[in-house]
Structure 1
Amino acid sequence: MRVLTLTTNAEAPFLTQQIDALRDRGVESVVRSVPGDPTGADGRSPVDYLRFVPIVRAAIDPSIDLIHAHYGLLGPIALAQRRCPVVLSLWGSDLNGSVAPISRLSARFADEVIVMSAAMESALATDAHVIPDGIDLSTFRPVDQDRARQRVGWTDPGSNVLFPYAKSRSVKNYPRAKRIVERANRLADEPVRLRTISGVPHDRMPQYMAAADALLLTSDSEGSPNVVKEAMACSLPVVSTPVGDVPQRLADVEPTVVSDDDDTLVHGLVDVLRSGARSNGREAVSSLSIDRTTDAVVQVYERALGRSERAIASAESPVQRTR
């Protein structure tokens, strides 16, 4: 099977991991990414998406069996052709704001739709497959905290709260994270530091998660944030706003805090730090390995191809009506 993969960020760890796992299953991915800087504060412009149209057209040749569009705005570009079936993956942010109507309309016409959470599925007027991005459980695993702190240079006394995003990404709401940690620092028994980490190789993140005492997520919206699942795999306690599938993921995990109230987040963070405990999160994400989620994606591909073949056969077969 040969799949044309359309994305806004060809370097996204979840995508590169999935492509590697798909290759192991005999699926070849031809990747095309929207022009422009995916890490920029302002994101892509409409012109960038228009520039992407001829790139996609040039990539569609007879060897392509299926198109997998990652992100709602890529749906219309994938659906502009009629030769290949289309699988549309929605991330969560594309079901909010001005992008949402385009994502919902694209989902109606795609052959198959993948979403990150049940809440996202309920926001659509069509059936969808709930397949959260998988995580590499062999890379993201608990390791010795003292050793990890030495490796990342966090050797000062006190607690370290990890914020694993660039400050410029407005949807991640860094100002709120900063405000929460500043208040926690005034209440805690020892210094509390907010550690903002971004732009480091993905395979180094487990070291930062091992060195940290808590992960703080203050996003305004998410689908199924990989960073939360990765923190769980590292047994790192999570303090988060109730975005995407985070409340469901953390339902049976301790210690953890999920709230949209600043006071609750502040006091909950202080309690987590005072406990000094690691979480039982790894048990809760054991079913979200890359292998399992990739197997589910392959099944969606096969379903889309089967649907397309049936449609072609139906169109080519003469239909006789009797009375």
Structure 2
Amino acid sequence: MALFRVLHALRERGLTPLVVSIMAPQGEHFPDLGIETRSLNMPRARLNAQALRRLRDIVREFQPDIVQGWMYHSNVLAHLARTFASQQAGRRVPLAIAIRSSMTLFAQEKRLTKLVIRLDAWLSRRADRVFYVSRLGERQHSAFGYAKHRAMIIPNGFNCDTFQPMPQVRDAVRAELGLAPDTPLVGLVARWQPMKNHRGFLAAVGMLAERHPQAHFLCVGRGCTAQDPAVLACTPESVRSRVHWLAERGDIPRLNAALDIAVNASLAEAFPNVVGEAMACGIPMVVTDVGDSAWILDGCGRVVPPGDDQALSEAIDAMLSLPAQARQQLGARARERIMRDFSLQAVAEQYWREWSALVAASR
């Protein structure tokens, strides 16, 4: 989504992008934004002769001026795409790769993923740029063996017209959930997976259930469904009737804007989009101190150690105990922070400048 937003923001620059996905893009609400997309249809993201031929044919037909990889597996394939493009052009086509994560949980990665990351690090010295989304990611990957002299940090950007305060949706969302207009609402937006730590979030809100009997809790993201026994097993009985599972949704800006407090409970991140998106909607946050989360938040909420359920619970409790006006002031500061430092157009222009410079230098 971050890549599509950048490309869409540059449409007026005359950019003609083609996105090649390893597997078919998933998600009912995945927008194409008018950007041509083709898939290699690689089963389980494993390279095979058919996918290799398809990649070669796509590149030779499109004849790119520059190739941009986007995350580990894509970066490795981008080197192949650059080889095909250079053969077609009769000159060295520039290549940039992008690292979108931290290495905090590298030890827990699958064996094949570890091999891909090591290969990506070795190949990075052949890339012209290595873009990182976070400062932590750059430090960790450079220490791991990625080409430090080619590193550049470009953070995620946020569309502050899409993600903005919407006072009018507060009552409407609560009505949809069958709640009273004055119900405190705390939300976590993330797909269901261990790293996103829904278990810790649910444990934390379970601890404060009695102190805030009117509060309700929202979990939004792929896999967040009460029909999953694993999901229910993680939900304390004390809040089971007050947790709303909305699965994957296409109206995240609207849901964010209806919250009183947003939470990111992740155990590891690089530059979490959910933090910037909630802040752009004017919502104060509680975040775990992972990746660049604390730097993005910049005092507009609470920061707690990752994996500390008690600290997370206490931080949410403290935020719920604030007067509504104090939370609104924190939210207003949060939006100002995002608009000033992380607007989508400013971030997209950074990519445009770097791509343009690389193309110019290659000719």
TM-score surpassing 0.5? yes
Shift of 1:136: 0.6
Q: Is the 8 A contact 1:231 1:237 kept in 2?
A: yes
Q: 2: CA distance between counterparts of 1:288 and 1:106?
A: 30
Q: 1: CA distance between counterparts of 2:361 and 2:152?
A: 15
Among 303, 311, 314, the residue aligned to 1:257: 303
Among 193, 218, 224, the residue aligned to 1:195: 218
| Aligned residue in 1 for 2:179 | 155
**Residue 215 of structure 1 aligns to a residue in which SS?**
strand
| Aligned residue in 1 for 2:208 | 184
Q: What are the Cα deviations for residues 147-189 of structure 1, in whole angstroms up to 9, with x where unaligned?
A: 353464352464222111232x222121111111111223x23
Q: 1:214 to 1:269 in 2, by over 3 A?
A: same
Q: 1:91 to 1:132 in 2, by over 3 A?
A: same
Among 283, 295, 302, the residue aligned to 2:356: 302
Q: 2: CA distance between counterparts of 1:291 and 1:283?
A: 15
Q: Show the 5 A alignment for 1:1-323.
A: 12=1, 14-35=2-23, 38=26, 45-47=44-46, 52-61=51-60, 63-80=63-80, 81-82=82-83, 83=86, 84-92=93-101, 96=106, 97=109, 98=114, 99-123=116-140, 124=142, 125-126=147-148, 127-144=150-167, 146-150=170-174, 152-153=176-177, 155-156=179-180, 158-167=183-192, 169-186=193-210, 188-198=211-221, 199-201=248-250, 204-253=251-300, 255-260=301-306, 261-275=308-322, 276=324, 277-278=327-328, 279=331, 280-286=333-339, 287-309=341-363
**Residue 166 of structure 1 aligns to a residue in which SS?**
coil
Q: 1: CA distance between counterparts of 2:352 and 2:289?
A: 30
| RMSD (CA atoms) | 2.5
Q: What are the Cα deviations for residues 226-253 of structure 1, in whole angstroms up to 9, with x where unaligned?
A: 1100111111111111111101111232
Q: Is the 8 A contact 1:152 1:211 kept in 2?
A: no
Q: Kindly, what percent of the aligned residue pairs are identical?
A: 22
Number of aligned residues: 289
Q: 1:72 to 1:248 in 2, by over 3 A?
A: same
Q: Is the 8 A contact 1:22 1:294 kept in 2?
A: yes
Shift of 1:200: 1.1
Q: 1:73 to 1:50 in 2, by over 3 A?
A: farther
Name the stretch that deviates more: 52-61 or 114-123.
52-61
Q: 1:119 to 1:307 in 2, by over 3 A?
A: farther
Shift of 1:90: 1.0
Q: Is the 8 A contact 1:92 1:116 kept in 2?
A: yes
**Residue 161 of structure 1 aligns to a residue in which SS?**
strand
Gaps of 5+ in 2: 28-41, 87-92, 222-247
**Residue 336 of structure 2 aligns to a residue in which SS?**
helix
**Residue 160 of structure 2 aligns to a residue in which SS?**
coil
Q: Is the 8 A contact 2:102 2:291 kept in 1?
A: no
Q: Is the 8 A contact 2:189 2:219 kept in 1?
A: yes
Amino acid at match of 1:76: V
Q: 1:179 to 1:37 in 2, by over 3 A?
A: farther
Q: Is the 8 A contact 1:135 1:230 kept in 2?
A: yes
Q: 1:146 to 1:22 in 2, by over 3 A?
A: closer
**Residue 147 of structure 1 aligns to a residue in which SS?**
helix
Q: What are the Cα deviations for residues 266-288 of structure 1, in whole angstroms up to 9, with x where unaligned?
A: 11100101113132201111121
Q: 2: CA distance between counterparts of 1:149 and 1:183?
A: 25
Q: Is the 8 A contact 1:94 1:100 kept in 2?
A: no
| Aligned residue in 1 for 2:37 | none
Q: Is the 8 A contact 1:154 1:211 kept in 2?
A: no
Q: 1:64 to 1:37 in 2, by over 3 A?
A: closer
Q: 1: CA distance between counterparts of 2:272 and 2:353?
A: 23
Q: Is the 8 A contact 2:261 2:285 kept in 1?
A: yes
Q: What are the Cα deviations for residues 93-143 of structure 1, in whole angstroms up to 9, with x where unaligned?
A: 578342542342343221111111111122224132211121110111112
Q: 1:258 to 1:60 in 2, by over 3 A?
A: same
Amino acid at match of 2:336: E
Gaps of 5+ in 1: 1-11, 310-323
Q: Is the 8 A contact 1:88 1:110 kept in 2?
A: yes
